[in-house]
């Protein structure tokens, strides 16, 4: 009994202390996947099934750590500045490209820069959809844009916060359609949804999962989606691209590692995530969340990210500092 | 009605099934602990346990999480009453009269009244939730930014009743609280304000570290500064139960707190936090002996504690009836539903009757469980006071630090608590009251956000506050209260404040001496 205990302790010791051998196995201790938003938020809800599936593939623990604050900046800069050894990963959303750009706009010392983080894999990318209250007159994007042109700055929309993802989606539409809408920022996507359901604003851009039940209940009417393809749950809903507006916007979630992570470890992580998204448990979890998996491996994800970040940077520059536009 | 009873029968058959019952039990116990631990409030508790609920089915997950929520409201009063440390933001007001009662040797009755008030409020408000959810929810959603501004201004008026001493001093403290509330990202333009390079200050200063620092730490520091340690209180068994007079004083307070809390609770946003502040003000306003407040008035415990409990049921109204994430806690609970493949929406009650009625019934059960759990605990908790201060206070300090750190895993929060502890110590030495700071800090960010949203919606016209009926009514009410409270200034009648001014006030730190 005693000997077995000692042997276990020895094994544990060997497992915890990095060996001196050149080919160090990875992982030898738990990996933490940082979600920069609180439990229950999109990043957290994506991170949990990913971590669970990675755990299965690696046969080594992977835990979700919520490091929240300042619209995600706290958690993202935490990972960006942590040791690039593959044990601290980030589950980030589109806002990862917004924060450094907003810091630049305000001449702030940036919390982190985008080149501090290296993409591992894209997990999901949901296009936002434009919804209006069912009691408002607009039945199509055409009617909506025509009315908005007649009454500039009178049709209002709620957003998850100034320079937030939902604000950016609307800004892209306003720019492409040449219209001016009234922006009312709220403290998060939840309050923004509450505002349109309460009739305090006319329209909202939102991810499909949270908005579908309200569309089915007849409270909100969808006009168009921001995706390159139609949303599976709403096959009759046109995309802005089909309607002739060259805009695309996704609320995406992807895994990142700090830049400088050794290549073999990065490769191992990429392989792990590739296998993880094939796990049946992972697929069923994503189906329950009504979020289709949109897996992309690092090279393609990098391309996707570059394009997305450029689009967001342009949108932020167009919005500019809000005070200066009297 | 028959249909409701049938549904309720269905609900109880679910809630009383062993697998659900055990999670209701677990939720209530965890909630009570979360409430007791200084700093960790229901939101943090639910967030930390959300991942654990993923493995359960939807109904048990919801029952567990809801149990944590209202269990925390029971537990939150314990440390407020015994040690002047608010377990969570909604218990700040309980610190004032609850702790004063402890100092008078009435800790047992204070805890008992808090538990019974919470039970009554919890049960009655579930009836409200069950019968009135759909119509009330649509009404609650009509609360837009202008209505919110009016409500918060009403909350600010509560200030007039929060201080027993000098009015200018109370106003100065409220102003300090409002200014502290300005720290953080400007919600309309994205500018950082007063963050001094700390990313963590982007979200502003949290209410909990400030409240724990101002109330709890300052108390510990004040005690340490006394030349002789305060006598250890030895509670006797017959002193655990409220006296007949205390019962009589608190019955109506519990009733009023219940109704008030429920009505404020249904409003989307974070309005439920102010339910206890408003309840305290109402009790003081209606009391025939307002001068007793601040010196151990049982109404000052009964009202706010009932209000914060019924506000929790109120917060479920828009969530269950419309599937709206009406506040931070309902938002987490809706996420829990989504994880289980249930899309929360207006059709939730129809499509998921098991979930809805099981949930309702579990709240009846949970409140009974909490009462049974909490009343015997009163005896145990009161005995904590027997621990000599040199052991008790360092332990409290450790728990406060751990609790405040655990919420966001942020050392910055611990520093805020420490700074506020020192500030609270100095302010109380100079006989400033600290409760108005907390009220200001709670109200400032909400008031700023909704005021600026209102003006964005109205394109800058202030008329929006008088043309919307709900907002106009509330503002009118607020004005009436303000004028009423100013009346003595004009008539120079014998106001209770003046009577109070004539009384000799015991200097701080001395009040506990027998």
Per-residue pLDDT at B156: 83
**DSSP secondary structure of B114-180:** HHHHHHHHHHHHHHHHHHHHHHHHHHHHT--HHHHHHHHHHHHHGGGGT-SS-HHHHHHHHHHHHHH
Sign of the dihedral through C-alpha B67, B70, B74, B75: positive
- Residues B343-366, mean pLDDT to the nearest whole number: 88
Per-residue pLDDT at A41: 82
Of A279 and B350, the structure prediction assigns the larger pLDDT to A279
3-state secondary structure of A132: strand
User: Is 70 exceeded by the pLDDT of residue B163?
Assistant: no
At residue B504 the predicted structure's pLDDT band, cuts being 50, 70 and 90, is: very low
The answer to whether B206 contacts chain A (CB < 8 Å) is: no
At residue A20 the predicted structure's pLDDT band, cuts being 50, 70 and 90, is: very low
Burial (CB < 10 A; 0-12, 13-18, 19+), residue A317, is: exposed
Per-residue pLDDT at B239: 75
How does pLDDT run across B19-41, given as a tens digit for each residue? 899 999 999 999 998 888 887 88
How does pLDDT run across A253-294, given as a tens digit for each residue? 999 999 999 999 999 999 999 999 999 999 999 988 888 899
Which residues of chain A neighbour B335 with C-beta distances below 8 Å? 39-41, 44-45
Sign of the dihedral through C-alpha B247, B248, B249, B251: positive
- Residues A58-72, mean pLDDT to the nearest whole number: 86
0.90 exceeded by pTM: no
**Which residues of chain A does CATH 3.40.190.10 include?**
129-248
User: Is 70 exceeded by the pLDDT of residue B499?
Assistant: no
User: Is 90 exceeded by the pLDDT of residue B89?
Assistant: no
Question: What percentage of chain B exceeds 70 in pLDDT?
Answer: 91
Which chain B residue shows the shortest CA-CA distance from A218? Answer: B346
User: Is 50 exceeded by the pLDDT of residue B497?
Assistant: yes
Per-residue pLDDT at B176: 94
Q: CATH fold of A31-125+251-318, please?
A: D-Maltodextrin-Binding Protein; domain 2 (3.40.190)
Radius of gyration for the alpha carbons in chain B, expressed in angstroms and rounded: 22
Using an 8 Å Cβ cutoff, are B257 and B304 in contact?
yes
Please provide the average confidence, as pLDDT, over all residues in chain A.
88
Question: What percentage of chain B exceeds 90 in pLDDT?
Answer: 33
Tell me the H-state helices in B185-324. 207-211, 218-224, 244-265, 272-286, 299-322
Please provide the average confidence, as pLDDT, over all residues in chain B.
85
User: Is 50 exceeded by the pLDDT of residue B192?
Assistant: yes
Using an 8 Å Cβ cutoff, are B211 and B438 in contact?
yes
User: Is 50 exceeded by the pLDDT of residue A82?
Assistant: yes
How does pLDDT run across B408-454, given as a tens digit for each residue? 778 899 999 999 999 999 999 998 988 889 989 988 998 999 999 99
CB atoms within 10 A of CB A279: 18
At residue B274 the predicted structure's pLDDT band, cuts being 50, 70 and 90, is: confident
- Residues A161-166, mean pLDDT to the nearest whole number: 89
- Comparing CB atoms, the residue among B141, B185, B200 nearest residue A74 is B200
Top-level class of domain A129-248 = alpha beta
Joined tokens for residue B392: 């008790």
Beta pairing class for A156-159 and A182-185: parallel
3-state secondary structure of A63: strand
User: Is 80 exceeded by the pLDDT of residue A14?
Assistant: no
Residue whose C-alpha is closest to residue B144's, from A202, A212, A41, A222: A202
Four-CA torsion A257, A269, A35, A204, nearest 10 degrees: 90
Q: Which residues sit opposite A66 in a β-bridge?
A: A35
- Residues A55-81, mean pLDDT to the nearest whole number: 88
Residue B86 CA to residue B67 CA, distance in Å, equals 20
Of B192 and A19, the structure prediction assigns the larger pLDDT to B192
Using an 8 Å Cβ cutoff, are B416 and B205 in contact?
yes
- Comparing CB atoms, the residue among A200, A210, A322 nearest residue B189 is A322
Q: Which of residues 313-342 of B touch A (CB under 8 A)?
A: 318, 322-326, 331-332, 334-336, 338-341
User: Is 50 exceeded by the pLDDT of residue A323?
Assistant: yes
User: Is 90 exceeded by the pLDDT of residue A118?
Assistant: yes
Q: What residue spans define the domains of chain B?
A: 2-502
Cβ distance of A74 and B48 shorter than 8 Å: no
At residue A38 the predicted structure's pLDDT band, cuts being 50, 70 and 90, is: confident
Which chain A residue shows the shortest CA-CA distance from B142? Answer: A198
Helix, strand, coil: what percent of chain A each, to 5? 45, 20, 35
Cβ distance of B457 and A156 shorter than 8 Å: yes
Using an 8 Å Cβ cutoff, are B359 and B365 in contact?
no
Per-residue pLDDT at A206: 92
- Residues B403-408, mean pLDDT to the nearest whole number: 84
Per-residue pLDDT at B164: 65
CB atoms within 10 A of CB A185: 26
At residue A11 the predicted structure's pLDDT band, cuts being 50, 70 and 90, is: low
Per-residue pLDDT at A18: 46
Per-residue pLDDT at B506: 45
**Which residues of chain A does CATH 3.40.190.150 include?**
31-125+251-318
CB atoms within 10 A of CB B231: 10
Cβ distance of A184 and B197 shorter than 8 Å: no
Question: What percentage of chain A exceeds 70 in pLDDT?
Answer: 91
The answer to whether A244 contacts chain B (CB < 8 Å) is: no
- Comparing CB atoms, the residue among B325, B332, B341 nearest residue A288 is B341
Per-residue pLDDT at A117: 95
At residue B168 the predicted structure's pLDDT band, cuts being 50, 70 and 90, is: confident
């Amino acid at each position: 009994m005693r000997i077995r205990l000692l042997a276990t302790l020895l094994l544990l010791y060997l497992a915890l202390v990095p060996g001196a051998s050149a080919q160090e196995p990875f992982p030898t201790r738990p990996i933490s996947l940082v979600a920069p938003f609180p439990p229950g938020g999109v990043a957290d809800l994506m991170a949990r099934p990913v971590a669970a599936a990675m755990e299965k593939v690696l046969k080594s623990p992977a835990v979700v750590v919520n490091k929240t604050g300042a619209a995600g900046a706290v958690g993202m800069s935490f990972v960006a500045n942590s040791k690039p050894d593959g044990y601290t990963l980030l589950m980030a959303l589109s806002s990862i490209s917004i924060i450094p750009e907003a810091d630049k706009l305000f001449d702030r010392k940036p919390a982190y820069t985008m080149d501090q983080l290296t993409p591992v894999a894209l997990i999901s990318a949901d296009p936002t959809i434009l919804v209006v209250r069912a009691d408002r007159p607009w039945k199509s994007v055409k009617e909506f844009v025509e009315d908005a042109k007649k009454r500039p700055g009178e049709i209002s929309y709620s957003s998850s916060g100034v320079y937030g993802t939902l604000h950016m989606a609307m800004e892209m539409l306003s720019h492409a359609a040449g219209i001016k809408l009234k922006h009312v920022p709220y403290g998060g996507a939840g309050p923004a949804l509450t505002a349109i359901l309460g009739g305090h604003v006319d329209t909202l851009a939102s991810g499909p999962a949270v908005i579908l039940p309200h569309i089915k209940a007849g409270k909100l009417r969808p006009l168009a989606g921001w995706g390159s393809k139609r949303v599976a749950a709403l096959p009759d809903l046109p995309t802005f691209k089909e309607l002739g507006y060259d805009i695309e916007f996704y609320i995406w979630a992807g895994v990142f590692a700090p830049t400088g992570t050794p290549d073999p470890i990065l490769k191992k992580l990429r392989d792990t995530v590739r296998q993880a998204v094939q796990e049946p448990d992972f697929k069923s979890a994503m189906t329950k969340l009504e979020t289709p998996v949109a897996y992309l491996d690092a090279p393609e994800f990098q391309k996707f990210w570059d394009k997305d970040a450029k689009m967001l940077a342009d949108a932020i520059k167009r919005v500019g500092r809000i005070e200066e536009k009297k | 009605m028959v249909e409701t009873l049938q549904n309720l029968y269905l609900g109880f058959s679910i809630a009383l099934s062993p697998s659900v019952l055990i999670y209701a039990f677990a939720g209530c116990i965890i909630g009570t602990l979360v409430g007791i631990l200084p700093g960790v409030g229901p939101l943090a508790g639910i967030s930390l346990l959300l991942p654990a609920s993923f493995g359960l089915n939807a109904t048990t997950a919801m029952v567990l999480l809801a149990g944590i929520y209202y269990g925390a409201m029971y537990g939150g009063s314990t440390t407020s009453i015994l040690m002047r440390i608010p377990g969570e933001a909604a218990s700040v007001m309980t610190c004032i009269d609850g702790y004063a009662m402890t100092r008078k040797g009435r800790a047992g009755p204070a805890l008992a009244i808090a538990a019974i008030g919470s039970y009554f409020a919890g049960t009655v408000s579930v009836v409200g939730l069950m019968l009135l959810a759909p119509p009330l929810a649509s009404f609650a959603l009509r609360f837009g930014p202008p209505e919110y501004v009016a409500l918060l201004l009403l909350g600010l008026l509560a200030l007039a009743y929060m201080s027993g001493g000098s009015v200018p001093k109370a106003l100065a403290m409220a102003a300090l609280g409002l200014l502290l509330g300005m720290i953080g990202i400007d919600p309309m333009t994205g500018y950082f304000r007063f963050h001094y390079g700390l990313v963590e200050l982007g979200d502003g200063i949290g209410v909990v570290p400030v409240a724990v620092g101002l109330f709890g730490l300052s108390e510990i520091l004040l005690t340490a500064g006394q030349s002789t340690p305060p006598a250890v209180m030895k509670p006797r068994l017959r002193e655990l139960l409220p006296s007949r007079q205390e019962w009589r004083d608190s019955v109506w307070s519990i009733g009023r707190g219940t109704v008030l809390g429920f009505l404020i609770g249904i409003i989307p946003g974070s309005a439920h936090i102010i339910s206890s502040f408003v309840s305290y003000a109402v009790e003081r306003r209606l009391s025939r002996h307002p001068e007793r407040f601040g010196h151990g008035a049982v109404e000052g415990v009964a009202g706010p504690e009932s209000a914060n409990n019924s506000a929790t049921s109120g917060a479920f109204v828009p969530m269950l009836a419309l599937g709206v994430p009406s506040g931070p806690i309902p938002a987490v609970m809706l996420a829990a539903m989504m994880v289980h493949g249930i899309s929360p929406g207006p059709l939730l009650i129809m499509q998921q009757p098991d979930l809805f009625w099981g949930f309702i019934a579990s709240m009846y059960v949970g409140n009974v469980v909490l009462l049974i759990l909490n009343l015997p605990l009163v005896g145990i908790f009161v005995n904590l006071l027997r621990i000599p201060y040199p052991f008790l206070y360092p332990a409290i300090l450790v728990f406060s630090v751990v609790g405040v750190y655990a919420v966001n895993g942020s050392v910055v929060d611990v520093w805020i608590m420490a700074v506020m502890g020192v500030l609270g110590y100095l302010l109380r030495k100079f006989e400033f009251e600290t409760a108005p700071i907390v009220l200001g800090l709670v109200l400032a960010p909400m008031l700023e956000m909704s005021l600026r949203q209102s003006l964005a919606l109205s394109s800058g016209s202030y008329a929006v506050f008088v043309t919307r009926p709900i907002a106009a009514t509330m503002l009118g009410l607020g004005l009436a209260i303000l004028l009423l409270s100013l009346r003595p200034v004009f008539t120079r009648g014998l106001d209770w404040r003046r009577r109070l001014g004539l009384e000799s006030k015991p200097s701080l730190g001395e009040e506990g001496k027998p």
